[in-house]
Structure 1
Amino acid sequence: MATHRLTELPADVLKLIEDVIGPALNVETVSAGYNNEIAARLHLGNGGSVFVKGLRQDHPRVWTQQREADVNPFTRGLAATLRWQIRRGGWDLLVFEDLGGRHADYSPGSPDLELVLQAMQNLASATSPADLDLKTMPQRMSTYVADPADVRFFEGRALLHTDWKPDNVLIVDGQAQLVDWAWASSGAAWIAPALWVIWLIASGHGAGEAESLAALHPAWDITPAHHIDAFARAQERLWELIAHADRPDEWTHKLHMAARTWAERRR
């Protein structure tokens, strides 16, 4: 579920940040994203800028802040570098380098598709550290599989971003960079392109076209088809439940229909 976003950075929060990084000349709130109460770009006196995201320390999903902080050292070259974590005044704030750039375009024919796929392939070589407290994809999908034994198909040590919404992919200097690692997990490497399939369908691709793009990922063709089939069925159930939750947004309905379309193709 989306988290209520503050439309202005509270003065007390700005002071907490400035105490650490120095005075800000301008504050630009960011509307994209759903997981944080605060998301803002701060333009600094030295001519630079940073991106800040945060939640109150009593927020039920404040754990996602620590998840992002823990994952960040293992995402070099694929994500913004975390510069500070501030836990004061009842807030948990993450201050990242400001990547700039623009959101990825997933529409058919977009030149961004190749860049996203390259980032996905680079991520496939990143192994989830054994001492990092991440949920596994078998754990996350256990509620949605038709057969409990199917979760074994999703096992793996790859570090997975899992939220391939276009807003979470920035195109910066001809490369795709991933932001918002709140739902990072570990699992089989082919799950990244499998999740991308649903977003591609929701962005206007046919199911076959979306799978053709996913198949360019090196992990796809070496994965047994019935493993992907089971994941498609689980995703259909997941998005059906989300779509029937309170006040689903337009994208939720699109993703529900996309997940259904993909699952039907796999059947």
Structure 2
Amino acid sequence: MTEGVMSPLACTLRTSAGRIFVKGTPVDAPAAWMYRAEAQVTHAASLAPSLLWEVEAGGWLLCGYEFLEGRHPDLSPGSGDLPALVDTLRVMPHRSALTEAARAWTGHRSVAV
């Protein structure tokens, strides 16, 4: 992967069933909790790529996600991407499973801004 916040492992698998986006980190890494929380939240979020699997093996935590073609949104003023982002943010709090997963995630760690 060439963009975004880089994981210790971020790659695309080409399988007979299609492509899968995989990200991972060592199980004992300080950020491993974020991968588990992201998998939980993503599993509950119908707006996100589907979590296909989560596995711990060989000292690694690996998460396989539905592969989607795309790009990062343009967040500059007047961008055509902003209406879709606003619509997504409006829908998310009304998804009870997502809200519960997000609360569980934020309840485990303090986030400094």
Q: TM-score range by the shorter chain?
A: 0.7 to 0.9
Q: Which amino acid aligns with 2:111?
A: R
Q: State the alpha-carbon separation in 1 of the partners of residues 70 and 19 from structure 2.
A: 13
CA distance in 2, matches of 1:35, 1:67: 17
- Asked if 1:109 corresponds to 2:71, the answer is no
1:60 correspondence with 2:30: yes
Q: Which whole-Å CA distance do the structure 1 matches of 2:25 and 2:88 have between them?
A: 28
The one-letter code of the counterpart of 1:68 is: E
| TM-score, normalisation: structure 1 | 0.37
The secondary structure found in structure 1 opposite 2:86 is: helix
Displacement after TM superposition at 1:86 (Å): 1.5
Check if 1:32 corresponds to 2:3: yes
Asked if 2 retains the 8 angstrom alpha-carbon contact of 1:31 and 1:39, the reply is: no
Q: Which runs of 5+ in 1 are unaligned?
A: 1-29, 142-237, 239-267
Per-residue CA distance 1:171-223 (angstroms, 9 max, x = gap): xxxxxxxxxxxxxxxxxxxxxxxxxxxxxxxxxxxxxxxxxxxxxxxxxxxxx
Distance 1:124 1:36, change over 3 A: same
Aligned equivalents of 2:111, 2:20: Cα separation in 1: 32
Please report how far the alpha carbon of residue 134 of structure 1 lies from its aligned counterpart in structure 2 after TM superposition: 2.2
Cross-structure match for 2:44? 74
User: Radius of gyration: which is bigger?
Assistant: 1
Greater relative contact order (Cα 8 A, min sep 6): structure 1 or 2? 2
Aligned structure 1 segments of 4 or more residues deviating by more than 3 angstroms: none
2:106 corresponds to: 135
TM-score by length of 2: 0.82
Q: What SS class does the counterpart of residue 64 from structure 2 fall into? A: strand
Question: What amino acid sits opposite 2:80 in the alignment?
Answer: P
Letter of the structure 2 residue corresponding to residue 44 of structure 1: T
Higher strand proportion (structure 1 or 2): 2
Greater share of residues in helix: 1
Q: Deviations over 1:122-171 (max 9, x none)?
A: 112123228x63225xx536xxxxxxxxxxxxxxxxxxxxxxxxxxxxxx
List alignment gaps of at least 5 residues for structure 2: none
